[in-house]
């Protein structure tokens, strides 16, 4: 019996070995980690085999593999008709890893640089949980021991402060918020719908680096970017297919793309700016009128100018987008002539700016004395024309108080004399022979503005009935002297003051010509030439701003090439000295 039993046992064993794979079952859930199928720490198998001939016998084998740290428990049950083999495998490596796994790690207390506890991280692998883990790994583990921090419970210390640690540069790129920042502007976001995930993936890479650097720049930036959305004009309203696709929510602007079957289909773009002025609907409670636009953009500049800083404000945008309306608006000569201290409701930033300067000087007339000079010129087809060049009527050399007494010289586009730009080794670029006019009242300034505006090159295009064909630059030089003591009448009969501090600031208010598509603005030869020139100089302006932002970001040197001289506009807006040698 023993002998046959032995033989049958051998047969049974060999059969069970052959058919083991066919009948085997594994009762242990497999896991997918990082794209690989991994086995858990404890696995349980059974094998059943019928048609064996044996008496009931049980064999138990226990083996422990020291090198792989695996315990194998093999139980075999034989009887006359079947054999069952049970196999239990315990992997001690994985067992010990799991005890230090996510939940254990998550219980660890996170502390900041000075070891003050901040919070207990949640015991789950949410994206934020992953961020925590990643931060810990980078902050607490030296490079030679990459996982050290994971095995030390309740002792994870963040080296860098919390704010720095959660900065995007420590975060895996896949967890970034989908943000594309413009240089020197805060968090411009670029949200895409699900249908555009491929594009999204592409921009993630660039977004990461831009955002990190821009976060640093926004702190030191002295640039403010504001956007104004104008209402649909009559022409647009008459077209059935035109509708407002822009929504404003505080300082976030969302553009809903149309249903075109092109790359823009289904895309929604969101941008964040320092200010957004929604002028689309006059009945809306958020409607931004000229006064609000002025207060939001220009008042901070006037404050700085009175402290002695130079300031520049320019309007940039597509043709017909409302730049001239915002910068100049309606010239209300009649209203102002009546001596009203309230500007015309439709007056733009420039006239309001001038009025505010004199209002402030009037309020501080006992402590500040000012000398103000203005100049106004345009850049038309890369040539500079003085907009305040006038022939004086006999016996009258002051246009300021009576502009009807002077006549602007030839005003027709190309026939006006072009001025040259020169570069002084110390003071930088300047316009040769540009006229400069001292002004002592708002009325004088307003009259000069009217003269300049009447000389600007404008033309009707397919996009705008009165399109500016040139960039106009209105300059104000403010010389402020703080008065120390009472005024006294000197020998010449004029007042003299003891001044103890002077401040000088230059303010440039720029109304750029609009970028335009040649096909939509018209096919006239002059318009095309102007359009090419406008687009070229705006392109250079963009390149200069980008180059300046790059040079600023570079910590090693700030000497990157900036193509100022590729257009007259950027050349002159560089450290300006329009008044040199006049
Ligand atoms: N906020 C606004 N409210 C009412 N009308 C506006 C507004 N902005 C612009 N408009 C009107 O839209 C038209 C075009 O504006 P504007 O001439 O200022 O554009 P622009 O950007 O200066 O164009 P271009 O670059 O061609 O000179 C004008 O008739 C203007 O009155």
Question: What's the CATH number where 399 sits?
Answer: 3.40.850.10
pLDDT surpasses 50 at 98: no
Q: Is 514 in the pocket of ligand 1 (CB under 6 A)?
A: yes
Inter-axis angle of helices 349-363 and 299-306, to 10 degrees? 40
Percent of the chain exceeding pLDDT 70 equals 49
Q: What are phi and psi of 293, to 5 degrees?
A: -65, -40
> Is 145 labeled as ligand-binding?
no
Percent of the chain exceeding pLDDT 90 equals 12
How many structural domains comprise the chain?
3
- Of the pLDDT bands very low, low, confident and very high (cuts 50, 70, 90), residue 466 is low
- Rounded CA gap, 469 and 348, in Å? 19
Looking at the fold, whether 26 and 142 belong to one and the same domain comes out as no
Looking at the fold, whether 36 and 170 belong to one and the same domain comes out as no
Looking at the fold, whether 448 and 525 belong to one and the same domain comes out as yes
| Mean pLDDT of all residues in 269-281 | 89
Dist. CA 327 → ligand 1 center (Å): 10
Looking at the fold, whether 311 and 437 belong to one and the same domain comes out as yes
> Is 318 labeled as ligand-binding?
yes
- Ligand 1 atom nearest the C-alpha of 317 is 21
Looking at the fold, whether 88 and 122 belong to one and the same domain comes out as no
pLDDT surpasses 70 at 505: yes
Which residue's CA lies nearest to atom 15 of ligand 1?
A: 322
- Report angle CA 250, 347, 287 to the nearest 5 degrees: 25
148 lies in some domain: yes
Closest CA to 135 of 175, 166, 100: 166
Looking at the fold, whether 458 and 381 belong to one and the same domain comes out as yes
| Mean pLDDT of all residues in 127-136 | 32
- Rounded CA gap, 327 and 302, in Å? 15
- Ligand 1 atom nearest the C-alpha of 514 is 25
Predicted ipTM of the assembly: 0.96
420 is in which domain, residue-wise?
289-573
- Higher-confidence residue of 563 and 332: namely 563
Looking at the fold, whether 43 and 146 belong to one and the same domain comes out as no
- Higher-confidence residue of 488 and 470: namely 470
81 lies in some domain: yes
Looking at the fold, whether 43 and 89 belong to one and the same domain comes out as yes
């Amino acid at each position: 019996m023993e002998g046959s039993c032995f033989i049958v046992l051998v047969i049974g064993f060999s059969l069970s070995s052959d058919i083991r794979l066919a009948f085997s079952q594994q009762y242990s859930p497999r896991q997918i980690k990082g794209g690989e199928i991994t086995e858990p720490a404890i696995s349980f198998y059974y094998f059943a085999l019928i048609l064996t001939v044996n008496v009931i016998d049980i064999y138990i084998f226990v083996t422990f593999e020291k090198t792989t740290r695996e315990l194998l428990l093999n139980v075999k049950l034989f009887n006359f008709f079947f054999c069952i083999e049970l196999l239990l495998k315990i992997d001690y490596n994985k067992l010990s890893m799991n005890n230090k796994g996510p939940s254990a790690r998550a219980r660890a207390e996170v502390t900041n640089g000075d070891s003050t506890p901040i919070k207990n991280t949640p015991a789950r692998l949410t994206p934020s949980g992953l961020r925590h883990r990643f931060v810990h790994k980078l902050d607490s583990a030296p490079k030679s021991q990459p996982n050290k921090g994971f095995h030390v419970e309740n002792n994870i210390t963040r080296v860098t402060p919390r704010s720095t640690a959660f900065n995007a540069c420590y975060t895996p790129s896949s967890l970034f918020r989908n943000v594309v920042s413009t240089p020197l502007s805060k968090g411009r976001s670029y949200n895409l719908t699900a249908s555009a995930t491929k594009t999204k993936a592409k921009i993630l890479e660039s977004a990461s680096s831009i955002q990190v650097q821009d976060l640093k720049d926004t702190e030191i930036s002295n640039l403010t970017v504001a956007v104004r959305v104008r209402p649909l004009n009559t022409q647009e309203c008459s077209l059935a297919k035109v509708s407002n696709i822009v929504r404003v929510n505080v300082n976030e602007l969302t553009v809903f793309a149309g249903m075109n079957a092109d790359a823009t289909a289904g895309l929604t773009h969101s941008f964040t700016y320092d200010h957004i002025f929604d002028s689309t609907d006059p009945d809306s409670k958020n409607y931004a009128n000229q006064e609000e636009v002025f207060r939001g953009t220009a008042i901070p500049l006037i404050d700085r100018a009175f402290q002695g800083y130079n300031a520049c404000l320019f309007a940039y945008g597509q043709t017909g987008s409302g730049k001239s309306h915002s910068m100049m608006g309606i010239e209300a000569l009649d209203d102002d002539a009546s001596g009203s201290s309230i500007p015309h409701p439709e007056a733009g930033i420039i006239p309001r700016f001038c009025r505010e300067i004199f209002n402030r000087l009037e309020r501080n007339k006992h402590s500040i004395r000012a000398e103000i000079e203005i100049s106004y010129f345009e850049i038309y087809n890369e040539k500079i024309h003085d907009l305040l060049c006038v022939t004086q009527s006999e016996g009258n050399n002051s246009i300021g108080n009576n502009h009807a007494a002077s006549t602007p010289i030839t005003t027709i586009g190309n026939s006006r004399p072009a001025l040259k730009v020169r570069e002084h080794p110390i003071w930088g670029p300047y316009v040769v022979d540009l006229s400069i006019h001292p002004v002592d009242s708002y009325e004088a300034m307003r009259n000069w503005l009217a003269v300049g505006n009447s000389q600007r090159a404008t033309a009707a295009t397919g996009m705008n009935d009165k399109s500016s064909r040139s960039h106009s630059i209105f300059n104000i030089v403010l010389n402020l002297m703080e008065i120390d003591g009472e005024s006294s009448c000197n020998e010449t009969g004029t007042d003299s003051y003891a001044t103890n501090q002077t401040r000088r600031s230059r303010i440039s208010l720029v109304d750029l010509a609009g970028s335009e598509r040649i096909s939509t603005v018209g096919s006239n030869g002059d318009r095309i030439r102007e359009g090419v020139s406008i687009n070229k100089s705006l392109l250079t302006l963009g390149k200069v701003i980008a180059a300046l932002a790059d040079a600023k970001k570079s910590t090693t040197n700030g000497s990157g090439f900036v193509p100022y001289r590729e257009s007259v506009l950027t050349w002159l807006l560089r450290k300006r000295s329009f008044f040199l040698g006049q």
